[in-house]
Structure 1
């Protein structure tokens, strides 16, 4: 593990999308109260279960939050910050980037930064795309708006420094994969044809096996979760059991993305040829 001496890096991250998860997919969902209620579950119930679990395990982690959700739920942002967690950038409206012009993409960046800075008192240091895709402008905008780390790509099992326009930057990429996301296992609605829900045990088995293999290879692991999904009782059971499994292992480092990437960046830069 040339990029850090702090132990095996395990990132627990949460995309707190609330209703924007549904309006971004289809703007007409805003007029469908049952569909929208799935997003409301995230802030009415799910997020509070997640925060309570993190307190019990004495963990500080990162929440990627769209600006609209930051503005709509100042009480939840206060609770996240009070517990020592990081708020990172997840667009403003969660609109899929492939649907945006360059000007609209800039607006998403700027409004999201403004919303987080107002509630947290700092500019967000990390950025995650809504709906897991970039435009041809996105990498340049990540650099232009001064982000220190990105968590978007699916191309590796360890962190690396992003290359933009043929130049290696100091921006740390924290890659993950769909198997490390709760949505493919549980994200369901009648408006999503072909979607099925899997048993919680299937997700627990997948994440446990991934953790054991990646730790044996001395890599890293990043898990992406959604309070409206993982915050349901049977799904939170998965996270609880997974953390119990992790606790049996030695030399595991869990923390906020901003703080962990500061250490990792130094290791990656030191390893440059």
Structure 2
């Protein structure tokens, strides 16, 4: 494959439009969970399927993590978006139904959590199509939101997602406001609800037995999240969380997340919404200029 390294903005999307949030809110909070379960460990490393201790990290989702996260959302009366690989929905069908029954949004997160690869277009498209099929078979839903497994994307995949009925993505890290992706063929691109890497709990609470990466404690993470949220709030942006039940469903981190969410709720002027609701609000703001 030949790579075009000419100087240009590598994301051709137009700048984010000015944003006002509902109910006079100054900023928004998007609570997103990636329900990877075992796919986080086998999707990109299939040999791990025979390493039961390794995959038990992901097995925590179904045994403990998802239920605890649902308890937390219920306690705080919050709705979230659960980006769910198709494999997870099939392997842990009853537990994933509990997410849906609790009124939360189900998002698309691939089928086996494989990182999208532009050199393997058919494989990347198959991951999307199989994910849809599995979510429909297991849960009876066809998601409108997508978060890229392993956090990667490319133009052809964005186009395939749009043609498949996806309305928004939450993967890119290049803004604090929602924006609309550009499309090479002139079709309407996806709404992007961008992510701040500081709010990915995997960075602080997950490592591997062979990795030198440290795990960070409560005081470091909670203060980081509060400081980053307060600054985003002051700028009127959206704070997008990338959380995993196999991380934030662990005992200490569950209480850490609860304290952070309570801090946000106490502000009183933050719109806490699902990805679907934020995308719909963006479309409403965008419409007069269309």
Please give the alpha-carbon distance, in whole angstroms, between the structure 1 residues aligned to 2:221 and 2:77: 23
- C-alpha deviations, 1:126-147, integer Å up to 9, x for none? 1111101124521221222121
CA 1:100/1:17 → structure 2, altered by over 3 Å: closer, same or farther? farther
**Aligned pair partner of 2:49 in 1, 25, 30:** 30
1:96 corresponds to which residue?
Answer: 115
2:279 corresponds to which residue?
Answer: 261
Structure 1 residue 262: deviation in Å? 0.8
**Aligned pair partner of 2:132 in 98, 113, 118:** 113
How many residues matched? 271
Structure 1 residue 266: deviation in Å? 1.2
Structure 1 residue 168: deviation in Å? 7.3
Whether 1:75 aligns to 2:94 is: yes
1:65 corresponds to which residue?
Answer: 84
- C-alpha deviations, 1:72-91, integer Å up to 9, x for none? 11111211011100111000
Residue 103 of structure 2 aligns to a residue whose secondary structure is coil
Alignment of 1:37-56 (within 5 A): 37-56=56-75
Show structure 2 runs of 5+ residues with no match: 1-17
Query: What is the TM-score normalised by the length of structure 2?
Result: 0.88
Structure 1 residue 99: deviation in Å? 7.8
Runs ≥4 residues deviating over 4 A: none
Is the Cα contact below 8 Å between 1:66 and 1:90 reproduced in 2? Answer: yes
Structure 1 residue 202: deviation in Å? 1.3
**Aligned pair partner of 1:206 in 209, 212, 224:** 224
Is the Cα contact below 8 Å between 1:14 and 1:227 reproduced in 2? Answer: yes
CA 1:177/1:166 → structure 2, altered by over 3 Å: closer, same or farther? farther
Query: What is the TM-score normalised by the length of structure 1?
Result: 0.93
CA 1:135/1:172 → structure 2, altered by over 3 Å: closer, same or farther? closer
Point out the more displaced range, 143-152 or 247-256. 247-256
Whether 1:5 aligns to 2:27 is: no
- RMSD across aligned positions (CA): 1.8
Residue 176 of structure 2 aligns to a residue whose secondary structure is coil
Structure 1 residue 167: deviation in Å? 4.2
